[in-house]
Amino acid sequence: MGQAMTIIPKEDALPGRADKMVVSSTHAVHNRATVEPFPEHLENAMFGMGCFWGAEKRFWNVPGVFSTQVGYSGGHTENPTYNEICSGKTNHAEVVRMQFNPSEVKYVDLLKIFWESHNPTQGMRQGNDIGTTYRSAIYCYGEQQLKEAQETKEKYEVALKKKGFPAITTEICPAMKFYYAEDYHQQYLHKNPSGYCGLGGTGVSCPREEL
């Protein structure tokens, strides 16, 4: 597990490689596509919530979510491996990416799940998972997602502070390139039902009407 607590300069990041990670083209839970091209009516969302095993499971059965994949984003190393991620020398976070149908589930509803399903106030850690790879992050596809991410952050932060939590530390920025994690990690908790899941929220709700 990665223990690096600070983002390193870009020039110090591992270079990576040109070869892409090869993963199964179908989802282990519902047999839908996990690689491009996806149906054109779908939109992307990408979140960092600590260990990506539990984060992916939290979203793969949400109505309106077509497919989910786990991977690495937010850093500089091209096509990184899990071992490189854990070294703290890539600047990537573990993320879950999903394709969703906006006529069935709104992005703001995915944000509500995101905020409530982990602790976004812990900086470079999530529970017992410590390091920059486990940081809370929202990587946004387009200006509207950025706007909604910032607005929900501000409103949820008020709710958290009322319960004694510190400020939200979630990284919110335009989406960078998504790199697939090894196939072993894809839908991990479906393949290994008793596997580790460190996902846990604050217990503070983020009411939909407040968003």
Active-site residues: which are they?
51
DSSP 152: H
All domains in the chain, ordered by first residue:
10-195 (3.30.1060.10)
Backbone angles phi, psi at 180, to 5 degrees: -60, 140
According to the model, what pLDDT value does residue 2 have?
45
Cα separation of 126 and 130, whole Å? Answer: 6
CB 156, CB 182: distance < 8 Å: no
Nearest CA to 175 out of 100, 74, 87 is that of: 74
* Residue segments in the chain with a per-residue pLDDT below the cut of 70: 1-3, 208-211
135 CB neighbour count, 10 Å cutoff: 24
Cα separation of 180 and 13, whole Å? Answer: 18
